[in-house]
Amino acid sequence: MSSFSDAMIFLREFVKNPRQLGSVIPSSGFLKRRIMRAAGVHQAKTIVELGPGNGGTTRSILAAMPADARLLSIELNEGLYQLSSGISDQRYIAHHGDAHELAAILSQYGLDQPDVVISGIPFSCMEREAGAALIERIHGLLQPGGRFVAYQVNPRVDQLNTFFKADNARSVAWEWLSIPPLRVWRWQKQTAA
C-alpha cells in the first residue's frame, strides 16, 4: 500500500477517534530519526513499540535495529493494526491490543525484557492513574540500562513519570521539523549497582 493511502487511513481513524490517535498525521522523517537516536535502536536487542499507527515509525525501527534484534509493536486501533501487521520482517511481531497489557503480551510471545520501549501513545488522553501505572510497568519491565522514549506534544507523560530516579536519567529535545512540533523524552533505567 502507498504511504499516501496509509496517511489517508491514519486521517480516517483520527476523525473516528481523535483521543486515541492524538495526532492527525504520522510522524515526519526528522522526528523518526530523532526517536531512533534517542532510543539507541542500533544497539538494542528487544524493542517494544507502543502505538505504531500506520507503521512508519515501525519501518524506521526495523531499518535501524541490528539483524538479530526483535521488535514487538502493540496497536489498539483495529484499522491501524491492519497496516502495521502488513509489514513483513522475520524480526517483527505485530500485536493487536492495549499497551496496558504489556507484561502479558511480552510473555505471550516468549520475549525477553525489552531494552528499548518507544511510545507514541497520547498519555494526555488517558486517566492520570492509568498513565502513571503504564509508565511504572514500563520501568519495571525494562532491563537495567534500558531506554524509554516518548514523543508527545503534551508534557503529561513527563509529569506522570516519577519512576526513573537517577539524576541523569532524563533528557528531552524538541523536534521542530514535525507537524505539530513536539518533544522527544528519553529516560534510562539505572544499571544494577
Ligand X SMILES: C[S@@+](CC[C@H](N)C(=O)[O-])C[C@H]1O[C@@H](n2cnc3c(N)ncnc32)[C@H](O)[C@@H]1O
Q: Which residues contact ligand X by CB under 6 A? A: 20-23, 26-27, 50-53, 56-57, 74-77, 80, 98-100, 120-121
**Nearer to ligand X among residue 38 and residue 74 (C-beta):** 74
User: What is the nearest approach in angstroms of ligand X to the Cβ of residue 104?
Assistant: 13
Name which of 74 and 142 has its Cβ closer to ligand X. Answer: 74
**Nearer to ligand X by C-beta: 142 or 184?**
184
Residues 52 and 75 sit within 8 Å (Cβ to Cβ): yes
The per-residue b/e assignment along 81-117, b for 16 or more CB within 10 angstroms, e otherwise, is bbbbbeeeeeebbbbeeebbebeebbeeeebeebbbb
DSSP per-residue string spanning 117-181:
EEE-S-GGGS-HHHHHHHHHHHHHHSPTT-EEEEEESSTHHHHH-----STTSEEEEEE-SSSS-
Q: How far is the CB of 102 from ligand X (least distance, A)?
A: 9
- For residues 120 and 146, which CB has a smaller minimum distance to ligand X in the complex? 120
Is the four-CA dihedral 61, 62, 63, 65 of positive or negative sign?
positive
For residue 192, which of 136, 145, 135, 158 has the smallest C-alpha distance? Answer: 145
Nearest distance in Å: CB 177, ligand X: 14
Q: Residue 107 or residue 165: which is nearer to ligand X going by CB?
A: 107
- For residue 152, the minimal CB distance to ligand X (Å) is 8
CB neighbours (10 Å) of residue 165?
A: 11
Q: Give me the least distance between CB of 192 and ligand X, in Å please.
A: 29
Cβ at position 173, least distance to ligand X in Å: 16
Nearer to ligand X, 145 or 181 (CB): 181
